[in-house]
Amino acid sequence: MKKLLLIFTIGLFTALLLFGCNNIDPNASPQMITESPTMSLPTATPEQTPEVTPPPVEPTETPVPPPPTPTPAPPVPLINKIKMTAEQRAGKVAYITIDDGPSRNTPALLAMLRGKNVKVTFFVLGRNAEAHPQYIKDIAADGHVIGNHSYSHVYKQIYASPDTLREEIVHTNNVIKNILGQDYQVTLFRFPGGLKQSDPAYVQVVTDLGMDFYAWNIDPKDSGGSKSTTEALVAKFNSQLGSMKHPVILMHDAANKDTSVQALAVMIDQLRAKGYSFDVITRP
């Protein structure tokens, strides 16, 4: 009986062992966790990158080149700015110009010119015209032309700017008109010292006032600080005259220029002997 019970127990154990082995997945890992069909695992949300708004793009403008600087017109030759007849242009004509007056020498100048029967062009200073209004009247009465040579003749003041030049010219024109009458037209200007007459801004001032400017082509140098002798002035004049057909002669009317009166009388005689006639400057 005991032997039969031992055989039955061994057989039962063997059967249970074989049944368990048949239900094991041969590919399963001992550490694998079987997911329940009802379990939901949390889904990782990818990190959001904040949007960056790019800065506005400025429209690109095509650079506009600056306008070309206008080329100033070439200066008109001095002689072409003076009104002449065809006969005068073909011949020999002298234009005497006298700057800086009137002064105490003006009566002597006028008397000499009257005696020579010569008309000239006076470029007067406004301040001197105010001081000697009667001399301005005498110049005009003798048939000479009166032009403008600024009011002060002080370079730093006149040429501080185009506006200051304009003030000087207008002031002097008004002084002359107050003496000779409002109908008297001043159309000629001479730059003191000959400065700025190549500067378009300063030339434009003269043009805008309805005037023109006139330089010279002969300078006997009677404007020096020391008094030059009559002979020295005449020699310098002749050294520059040569065969020039239309000399525009620069002389001065000032209290210390009495030799200028004497030298000019000699120059007139020499010019007349060489076949020159004389005229005043007028605009074409």
Per-domain boundaries in the chain: 78-278
The residue that leads in pLDDT, 119 or 11, is: 119
The lowest-confidence range among 33-47, 154-168, 216-230 is 33-47
Could you tell me the maximum CA-CA distance found in the chain, to the nearest angstrom?
190
Residue 31: predicted pLDDT:
44
User: Residue 277 above 70 pLDDT?
Assistant: yes
Residue of 212, 252, 253, 279 with catalytic role: 252
Question: Mean pLDDT over residues 26-54, rounded?
Answer: 48
User: Residue 41 above 50 pLDDT?
Assistant: no
Nearest to 189 by CA among 136, 144, 122: 122
Residue of 99, 212, 253, 279 with catalytic role: 99
Residue 224: predicted pLDDT:
76
4 confidence band (pLDDT: 50, 70, 90): very low
User: Residue 262 above 70 pLDDT?
Assistant: yes
In the annotation, is 171 catalytic?
Answer: no
Nearest to 101 by CA among 78, 82, 121, 119: 121
Instruction: For the chain, give the mean pLDDT.
Output: 85
Return the CATH architecture of domain 78-278. Answer: Alpha-Beta Barrel (3.20)
User: Residue 199 above 60 pLDDT?
Assistant: yes
Question: Mean pLDDT over residues 76-94, rounded?
Answer: 96
Highest mean pLDDT among 6-10, 50-54, 102-106, 224-228: 102-106
Nearest to 124 by CA among 177, 85, 160: 177
% of the chain exceeding 90 in pLDDT: 69
The lowest-confidence range among 71-80, 197-206, 274-283 is 71-80
In the annotation, is 252 catalytic?
Answer: yes
Task: Tell me how far apart the alpha carbons of residues 21 and 24 are, in angstroms, rounded to a whole number.
Answer: 6
Task: Tell me how far apart the alpha carbons of residues 257 and 255 are, in angstroms, rounded to a whole number.
Answer: 6
Residue 66: predicted pLDDT:
74
